[in-house]
Amino acid sequence: MSTRGEGIAAGNSAGPSSFSRWIRVVPALLIIGGATFVAAYYVPLRRAHMLLIQEQQRSNEKGRELEQTLSQVRGELQAKAAEVDRLEAERQQAAAAKRSGVERVEQLKTDLAGKLDKQIKKGVAAIAAADGHVFVALSESAVFLPSTVDVSPQGQGLLCQVSGALSSIAGQAPLRVGAVSGPPDSVPPALHAAYPTPWELSAVRAATVAQTLQDKCAVAGARLSAVGHAEHDPAAAALGETKLPAGRVEISIALPGASPAQK
């Protein structure tokens, strides 16, 4: 009995002591577990969260930069589109003006052909159009006295008829008088001493015709210009189908906006 009692007494004395130890161990375990949780989960999650916030901020900044760039590009594109529209409008306007000018030239050519029909049929006059100009070409034999630089009475009447036709159709547009003398050997012997070269002969004849238009045909001098071409005829291609001789007088008129556009 004594032994059993001692055992019970010993067990009773050991129980409270073991419980006390667990009471002390459990908080330590909780602290260790909490520290382990913080170290293993919370800190990495916190870091990941901060990284995500930073990445979001960078993304937002990039988004704002892209939006600014896109807005700038939109503005540039709108400006370019406006410039293209303006250039296209100018091109269409220039094309319309050119068509109108070409139509005016052709109409002027047709009207002149009707007014100078008799001279054209006689082979002393021809009409052509090129580069926004209308040319009335007259044989030198129909304008000048033979082997002279003087305008004949017949030539004076013809010049006044041409200038009158041009003025009635084209108003007060400038008139350019050109004279072509033909090759060097075409200078008449009677004129060779005074005008030994085609340049000199053609220049004098052009000036004489311009003077006649002013003095006898009531063409204002401010509208007139005169040039000698010698044997170099700028209207030769346009007059290529005519049968006029190389020596001739050409009166041309230019219509604004009728010249072809430069390439």
Inter-residue contact 131 to 77 (CB < 8 Å): no
More confident residue, 8 or 134: 134
Token readout for 231 is 């044997």
Same-domain check for residues 169 and 204? yes
Q: Is the pTM of this model over 0.75?
A: no
Domain count, the chain: 2
CA 181, 182, 186: angle at the middle one, nearest 5?
90
Instruction: For residue 263, name the pLDDT band (cuts at 50, 70, 90).
Output: very low
Residue 182 contacts residue 198 (beta carbons within 8 Å)? yes
Q: Are the C-beta atoms of residues 125 and 116 closer than 8 Å to each other?
A: yes
List the CATH number of the domain containing 227: 3.30.1330.60
Domain of residue 65 covers 1-102
In the chain, pLDDT over 90 holds for what percent of residues?
Answer: 25
Asked if residue 94 and residue 211 are part of one domain, the reply reads no
Mean pLDDT of the chain: 79
Q: Of 77, 102, 127, at which residue does a domain stop?
A: 102
> 177-234: per-residue pLDDT in tens?
999 987 777 788 888 889 988 999 999 999 999 999 999 999 999 999 999 999 888 8
For residues 118, 121, 124, 129, the Cα torsion angle rounded to the nearest 10 degrees is: 90
The pLDDT assigned to 218 comes to 92
What average pLDDT does the segment 115-122 reach? 86
Q: Is residue 160 located within the same domain as residue 247?
A: yes
pLDDT for res 22:
64
Query: Is the confidence at residue 169, as pLDDT, over 50?
Result: yes
Same domain, 125 and 53: no
In this structure, are 199 and 227 located in the same domain?
Answer: yes
For residue 13, pLDDT beyond 70 = no
Q: What amino acid is encoded at 192 in this protein?
A: H
